[in-house]
Amino acid sequence: MEITSGSKDDFRLLTLTGQFWQREDMEALEQYVSVCITAHRPWVILDIEGLTFVNSQALGMFVKLHARCSGAGGKLILFQPRSSVREVIEIAELPQFIALADTAEELDAQMESRGSGGTRSR
């Protein structure tokens, strides 16, 4: 998996591309988020449009990162999951507590709402 880093307003934007299932990728993503939290920028957008596969361990990492961001007073937003990845995320019921946005407008609304919980139900 490839991770690229950028920013959008006060949020750190991490773009994930490829398959998310290897331990090294999870450790790398956790390190990126740890740097954000250490820098007092616990607001993170994971652009996952480029992910083609996630496994249960990857879902667990999303939950862990959500908890870390929330615990630091921030927020984690999952942005633009493709349909195959979205299906896995929804089966695991992550949108009940992790913010999810499909469009730029939804992302902007989630960014304005600094609360940590998910708000989408489908």
Task: Output the domain CATH number for residue 51.
Answer: 3.30.750.24
pLDDT band at 113 (very low <50, low <70, confident <90, very high): confident
Q: What is the DSSP string of 29-83?
A: HHHHHHHHHHTT--EEEEEEEEEEEE-HHHHHHHHHHHHHHHHTT-EEEEE---H
The pTM of the full predicted model, rounded to 2 decimals, is 0.92
As a whole number of Å, the end-to-end CA separation of the chain is 28
Report d(CA 56, CA 32) in Å as an integer: 20
Mean pLDDT of 85-92: 96
pLDDT band at 107 (very low <50, low <70, confident <90, very high): very high
pLDDT band at 121 (very low <50, low <70, confident <90, very high): very low
Q: Is 24 helix (H, G, I), strand (E, B) or coil?
A: helix
Residue 117 belongs to some domain of the structure:
no
Cα dist. 103→47, 78, 97, 107 in Å? 11, 11, 19, 6
User: Max alpha carbon distance in the chain (Å)?
Assistant: 34
Task: Give the pLDDT score at 70.
Answer: 96
* Amino acid, single-letter form, for residue 96: Q
Residue 10 belongs to some domain of the structure:
yes
Range of the domain at 47: 2-112
pLDDT tens by residue, 51-86: 999 999 999 999 999 999 999 999 999 999 999 999
Report d(CA 15, CA 27) in Å as an integer: 15
Residue 50 belongs to some domain of the structure:
yes
